[in-house]
Amino acid sequence: IGQGPWQQIDGIAPHPNEPAAGTPPRAMPLVRQSLRMGGGGALVLPHHFTAESDPYLDDHIINGKRVLPAAGAAEWMAQVAVEGWPGWQLAEVRDLRVLAGVVLENDKGREVSIRARASTHSGSGEQMISVDIVEAGRKAPLYRASVRLVERLDETPPPVPEAIQGEPLDAAAVYRDVLFHTGRFRLMTTIDAFGETGVDAVVRSSTPQDWTGVEGQWLLDPGLIDVAAQLAFTWVRKARATSALPARFGRLVRYGKAPLPATLKVRFRLRPPSHELAVAFDAYF
């Protein structure tokens, strides 16, 4: 409805996009301005990606250019959906596709819009949100995904795979010799086992403060999601002597709302790919 005297009535919360002065840090640390209404009923967040606004991009450089990782796009999309539909809980990001990506060609950065629209095909107790990241002035999306919001979050995760038998690897050497990731993306502390069916490792969680300087809590932790892609890159490089970058995340599933512990184990397990040039996997943190 907008601003008005009804915001002052006892028991009525202010508009979720207009926090009062002196309130705690925003619940969604990446959403630094109010969403606006766009065409077709979409909620829109404009954002200008630069090295200054998004310093974590300095640690994700491919061919000399800063690139927003798919894991980062997932967190942006999830936060916009939760900001736009307050009271709902993030359960999943589904079918996230990297169509072109956000690549910073120069210091001017790149202007985008993150657009979220409610689906008409939601089930009982859930809300499906279609989210695109689109370059300003263009229609073709750079990333596209569906976000599943629920009234009550499932806090019972599936069973974790058993540990595998394999050779240990030096995580520092892998970052030095195999991966291009630096700084904030270097979250693997040990690689306990590397085998034909997958990898077991120990990782550190990341925080919005480390990545952006803004206080808050991640919904998905893009650092951890990127670790899964790093493990795929490492496995392909060592097993096939080639490279693989993420093109699609089928499901990113969240269990519980509590902050993640500082250290976690990850079980990376290969699964049958759709074609011989692809690598498919599940990762359990």
Asked whether the predicted pLDDT for residue 227 surpasses 70, the reply is: yes
CA distance 110 to 100: 13
Q: Quickly state the pLDDT bin for 125 (edges 50, 70, 90).
A: confident
pLDDT band for position 121 (cuts 50, 70, 90): confident
Helix (H, G, I), strand (E, B) or coil at 154: coil
- Calculate the average pLDDT of the chain: 89
Tokens of residue 44, six digits: 């829109």
Of the candidates 171, 266, 193, 189, the residue with the CA atom closest to the CA atom of residue 224: 266
Least Cα distance to 284 among 248, 253, 257, 250 occurs for 253
Q: Quickly tell me which residue has 């990376």 as its tokens.
A: 268
For residue 268, the model assigns a pLDDT of: 97
Task: Summarize pLDDT for 228-280 with one digit per residue, the tens.
Answer: 999 999 999 998 888 888 999 999 999 988 889 999 999 999 999 888 889 99
> pLDDT tier at 124 (50, 70, 90 boundaries)?
confident
Q: Quick check: 207 pLDDT over 60?
A: yes
Q: What is the mean pLDDT of residues 172-185?
A: 97
Per-residue pLDDT at 46: 95
| Predicted structure pTM score | 0.88
The reported pLDDT for the residue numbered 20 is 45
CB 48 within 8 Å of CB 111 = yes
For residue range 36-93, list pLDDT tens digits in order: 998 888 999 999 999 999 999 999 999 999 999 999 999 999 999 999 999 999 999 9
| Residue 3: per-residue pLDDT | 57
